[in-house]
Every structure is written in structure tokens, then in C-alpha cells.
Amino acid sequence: MEESLFIDIDHFQRKKQGQNAYGDSFTSKRYPGEDRLIAVLSDGLGSGVKASILSRMTATMVLKFAEAERDLIKATEIIMESLPVCKVRKISYATFSVIDCNSDGNAKIVEEGNPQFLWVRNGKVLNTEPKVITSRKFQNRHMQCYEIKMESEDRLIFCSDGVTQSGLGSPGYKLGWRRSGLIGFVREILKKEPYISSRQLSAEIVKEAEKKEINKEAKDDISSSVLYFRRPRKLIVFTGPPYHSEKDREYAEMFAGFDGKKAICGGTTTNLISRELNRPITGGKIPSGNLPSISEMEGVDLVTEGILTMTKAVEYLENPQKIQPDAAGKLVDLFLDSDCIDFMVGVKLNQAHYDPNLPIELEIRKNVVKRMIKILEEKYVKKINVKFI
């Protein structure tokens, strides 16, 4: 059986210049029991708080309707027929794009009023004809419905019109950046970074759109969300020496044989793996802010100190805006770029850590790992396996 795909989904937004609230809303939810992911991007009429409320309500309603109704078209049709029209401007209060997909790559997409999504495969944008459903109640209101099959390394890019219309009226982009400009930019970026994460790609798109604006000031809310279908990226973190030291070799070999990226957190663990696998530890001179420096070992992507670095990494995961390029920041980068993370947690105690002179913040490894796993699972939707050894 073919391995199921992982869907890396993320979004990035900029508010219209001078506003305090985002006028576009993005929401997504995974339903692991049903192998289903639904995501909605909605653009509220106008900007600021009013637009924010309109788009948030629409996005939430579309998500809830789609969730309850197996038939996405039926669910979205109800929304299309009920979205009110602004009395002054005679246009809909909000537009939306919704995707309902699964790990086999089956995706159903419905768009109402938003720019058409991009479907990118091998650096090329694929064209697909929609089935158009016209509103019975409202003139000029249509839904474009698509049913497509995603393959590994395919991407879907959704955006609000703030992206395609960025730069409108500027000397370089009289008609705005447009879909063609966006396509060119995405192709260029994928040529340089074919494995770019959804987090990075959505941010790049929005930042580029903002650059197109006169004085780089967003004239509208600018949002982009990206879905990247791929084989799961795996990471293993080995932290702490095993309880039974006679099993050191076995665990070191298990770590070395792991099919994915590898990180070691802990000085004793590093020594143990170095000894068992006969791989020297080098580096240790890479400065790391207030944390112990990073070491290097052949075949291992990151080698750090243990408790302090992991405690700091949990802090960064809780407050991503605080991330620094130190050892903990590098560990967090590895986490965020991975889909499945295995932890091998050695539970042998180091008596020295119980010295009453040590600060109280120095926690027991199991507790730090427990907090780390909870946040990675709940906030970052990572698939975690943990083995206490």
C-alpha cells in the first residue's frame, strides 16, 4: 500500500495599512479519525473590525457546515444562498474558498468570489476546469467547484484579492500584481527552494505582494494559505541516557538507522552516541546566545545540550515571536519543518541535577519532554511517538 501523504498547511496575513484587525480570516481543522482536513479562507467586505467579523463568521460557518455535511457543494451552496449583500455597495458581505481533502490526495475545492487557487506540480501550474454553480437568489454570484487528485509534492495556493491586486495603480503594476505575477513569483521560488514549507511560502507570497504596493503599504488585507502534500518528514530526538546502560549500543544503533533527520539533546547522550557509534564530537564553538553552544557529529543534524535547551525550546514553541537563532531556536526549526517526530527519552537520572544549589528551573527531563510533546501535538499538530528507555 502506498504511504499516505502528509498535508503541510499554513497561512500568512497582513492587515490593511492603518487597521487594527485582519479583514481576511483563515481557519482550518484536521479530523484525524476521519482522515480529513478542511480549511477556509474568507475575505470580508471592507477592512478592519467590520471585515474581520464578516470574514470570521463566514469562515467559521463554512467550516462547520462542511464538517457536518459530507457533500461540500451542498454545504457551500447553502452559504452562498444565505450570505447577505451590502445595501450600499451591492456586493456580498464576504467571499470564501474552502478545501476538503484527505491523505490519499483527494481534494474538493469550492470558491465563491476569491481569486482562483493555484495548483502547482513540478514547478508548473495545472489548469483544471471547474463546475460552475450559479446562485438562484443572487445575480452574479457563482461557485466554482473542483474535484482534484493531489500527488506527492503538489501544492495548492489560496489567496485573497489583496495578493493579486497588490500594487494596483502603481507605475510598475497599473493593473496590480495579478495572477500571472503571482504564478511567476511562485515558480521562481519553487525553482530555488523546491521543498519550501507552507509556513515559509505563504509568508513569502504575502511579503512580496506587500512590496508591490505603493510605499509598501498594504491597501487591502493580504492573505495567503498554502497546502503542501508530501511524504511525511521525519525527525528523531534522542535525549537522556537509557536506564539500562547495557542497552546503550542497541539504542544508539536504532537512532543511527532512523530514516529521517536526527537531533541529540544532552551532553551525556552525545558522549554515549559518539562512543557507541565511534563518531567524534566536533564543533562546540558555535555560539548560542545564553545557551550552551552547539556541537556537531557526522550524520546528526543537530547536537545540543539537554534540559536548558529543551526548556528554552518549549518557551519558543509557546511564544514563536521570541525565537532566537540559538540552539533552542534551531531545535524549534527542526520541529516545525518535520511532520512526525519520534522521541527517545532516556530516563537515567543524573544525581548532579538534584544538587540543591542548582536553580529550581532545572526540571526533570521527563517533565520538559511531556510539555514539549503536548504543545507540538496540540498547537503544531505534529504526529508524535515517544519511547522512554
Partner 1 sequence: MTKINVKICLGTTCFVMGGSKQQELIELVTRKYCGKVNVESSACLDLCRDNEFTGAPYVTVNEEVVPEATIEKVTDIIEKKINEQ
Judged by CB under 8 A, which of 123, 184, 194, 287 binds partner 1? 287
**Least Å distance between CB 379 and partner 1?**
26
Q: Which is nearer to partner 1, 59 or 327 (CB)?
A: 327
- Answer yes or no whether residue 181 interacts with partner 1 by CB under 8 A: no
- Kindly calculate the radius of gyration of the chain based on its CA atoms and give it in whole angstroms: 24
Binding part of the chain for partner 1, among 76-84, 96-104, 337-345, 357-365 by CB under 8 A, reads 357-365
- Answer yes or no whether residue 351 interacts with partner 1 by CB under 8 A: yes
- Answer yes or no whether residue 306 interacts with partner 1 by CB under 8 A: yes
Binding part of the chain for partner 1, among 51-59, 96-104, 153-161, 299-307 by CB under 8 A, reads 299-307
- Answer yes or no whether residue 281 interacts with partner 1 by CB under 8 A: yes
- Answer yes or no whether residue 346 interacts with partner 1 by CB under 8 A: no
Separation of alpha carbons 260 and 232, rounded Å: 10
Cβ atoms of residues 114 and 96 within 8 Å: yes
Judged by CB under 8 A, which of 358, 377, 385, 387 binds partner 1? 358
Q: Which is nearer to partner 1, 32 or 287 (CB)?
A: 287
How distant, in Å, are the alpha carbons of 28, 107, 240, 346 from that of 243?
41, 47, 9, 6
Separation of alpha carbons 330 and 172, rounded Å: 39
Strand segments (E) across 113-221: 118-121, 124-125, 131-134, 142-149, 155-159
- Enter the DSSP assignment of 190: H
- Answer yes or no whether residue 385 interacts with partner 1 by CB under 8 A: no
Strand segments (E) across 45-129: 94-101, 106-112, 118-121, 124-125
How distant, in Å, are the alpha carbons of 172, 214, 375 from that of 348?
64, 60, 24
Judged by CB under 8 A, which of 148, 256, 350, 380 binds partner 1? 350
Separation of alpha carbons 128 and 259, rounded Å: 36
Separation of alpha carbons 379 and 5, rounded Å: 20
**Least Å distance between CB 306 and partner 1?**
6
Judged by CB under 8 A, which of 4, 140, 290, 385 binds partner 1? 290
Judged by CB under 8 A, which of 7, 109, 300, 308 binds partner 1? 308
- Answer yes or no whether residue 356 interacts with partner 1 by CB under 8 A: no
Strands 94-101 and 131-134: unpaired
* Residues that bind partner 1 in the complex, under the rule CB under 8 A: 266-268, 270-271, 281, 284-285, 287, 290, 292-293, 295, 303, 305-308, 350-353, 355, 357-359, 362
